[in-house]
Amino acid sequence: MTAPAPPSPMDSFLAAQGYGRAERLPLPQDAGHRRYTRLRGGPRPALLMDCAEAPRVGLTPEEDLLPFLRLARHIRGIGLSAPAILAEDAAQGLLLVEDLGEDTHAALLDRGADPQALYAEAAEALAALHAAPPPAGLPLWEAERMAATAAATFLDWWWPASFGAPPGEAVRAGFADAMREMLAPFAGAGCLVHRDYFPANLMRLEGRDGPRRTGILDFQDAALGHPAYDLVSLVEDARRDVAPEVREAALARYLALRPELEAVRFHAALAAMAAQRHLRVAALWVRLDRRDGKPRYLAHGPRCWALLERALRHPATAPLAHFLDRHVPPPLRRNPDAAPSAAPFASPTKDPAA
């Protein structure tokens, strides 16, 4: 008689925490590699985060998990709302966290909630996050790394998909120079930057007041950089249209809570950060299509290209605007034509942001 298979590390982990018999409801997977499962029937509502696919992006499960743990504790430690850590098995990349519910700002907006109120709440929590001293050891999110991550989608994926061949070294060098020249004036701001602060990663938590009313999720890739980057993520969302009056009200709310920031310079930084982000993300959708077989994200391409065009009208973005005018004139700033076959492009370099 065949002996029963031993329990998996996940089954053992859940059983040890009292969730062995809990109902497991997998949540839809987004563009990332982590998997989330809602658990019902255990000691308290909880989510399981599984980092087993971390090797796909060049990390061990433990390396993938530790930034989440550190940043969750930091965010809660400064009085803001992140999921409480219930249990962890770092070696296996398994984490049990508090379930904050299903009312993400994205879900509420889809159900017709007042965007003015939600974006104001998000701006209030973001101002508090940025104003607090950042934790030690964050990686830098400044000109060099931002230029490299933009190149890893725009030059390595969008360019060959649009032109049929990778760019030459002169183009790569010119792009890097343009990005650095545009972004370098805004180095040294020195706050924690979430890097994906948008409605799908924010929760409305009824019963909590002030900035604690906004639950903050998916913060494990946070870095040290300029606060304008997170405002771009929020009010110039790559996946959702934001009405101009909502955008302006959220920016005004943020700046009112941070009077130490000089508004004219902040708006210049906002344009520079927007140009980097929108170009990088417009090209990221191409990578998700060609490499990962997720063509649905291409639907967001026109929005990203339109947001990029708006950013390029600001004088702070002149270096990148000049590069694009030389190499990618406006009629070409769009999603590439459909791939001629199902075979994906092979990325010529490792993506630092993968």
Domain boundary among 63, 98, 133: 98
Buried b (16+ CB within 10 A) or exposed e, 266-281: bebbbbbbbbbbbbbb
Q: 22 and 39: one domain?
A: yes
Sign of dihedral through CA atoms 292, 297, 301, 302?
Answer: positive
Q: 281 and 326: one domain?
A: yes
Q: 159 and 297: one domain?
A: yes
The Cα 30–Cα 221 span in angstroms is: 15
In-domain check, residue 344? no
Q: 69 and 112: one domain?
A: no
Q: 290 and 153: one domain?
A: yes
Q: 243 and 328: one domain?
A: yes
Among the residues of the chain, which ranges form H helices?
Answer: 9-16, 61-77, 105-110, 115-131, 143-153, 159-163, 169-183, 228-235, 244-257, 263-290, 301-311, 318-327
In-domain check, residue 3? no
Q: 119 and 82: one domain?
A: no
The pLDDT value given to residue 3: 60
CA-wise closest residue to 218 among 71, 76, 51? 71
Domain boundary among 70, 98, 126: 98
Q: 142 and 19: one domain?
A: no
Strand partners, 94: 50, 89
CA-wise closest residue to 251 among 275, 267, 238? 267
CA distances 354 to 11, 197, 233, 283, 344, Å, are 29, 18, 18, 13, 16
The pLDDT value given to residue 7: 80
Q: 152 and 267: one domain?
A: yes
Q: What tokens appear for 20 in the block?
A: 């062995």
Please list the pLDDT of the chain residue by residue as tens digits (354 residues).
566 667 899 999 999 999 999 999 998 876 568 899 999 999 999 999 998 887 777 888 888 899 999 999 999 999 999 999 999 998 889 999 999 999 999 999 999 999 999 999 999 999 999 999 999 999 999 999 999 999 999 999 999 999 999 999 999 999 999 999 999 999 987 899 999 999 999 999 999 999 999 999 999 999 999 999 999 999 999 999 999 999 999 999 999 999 999 999 999 999 999 999 999 999 999 999 999 999 999 999 999 999 999 999 999 999 999 999 999 999 999 999 987 644 444 433 333 333
In-domain check, residue 222? yes
Q: What is the pTM of this model?
A: 0.90
The pLDDT value given to residue 34: 84
In-domain check, residue 216? yes
Domain boundary among 80, 98, 116: 98
CA-wise closest residue to 147 among 192, 184, 116, 115? 184
The Cα 319–Cα 337 span in angstroms is: 27
Q: 127 and 266: one domain?
A: yes
**Which domain, by its residues, includes 74?**
9-98
Q: 168 and 313: one domain?
A: yes
The Cα 57–Cα 53 span in angstroms is: 8
In-domain check, residue 352? no
CATH assignment of the domain containing 22: 3.30.200.20
In-domain check, residue 354? no
Q: 61 and 173: one domain?
A: no
* Domain count for the chain: 2
In-domain check, residue 63? yes
Q: What tokens appear for 51 in the block?
A: 């980092």
CATH assignment of the domain containing 210: 3.90.1200.10
In-domain check, residue 346? no
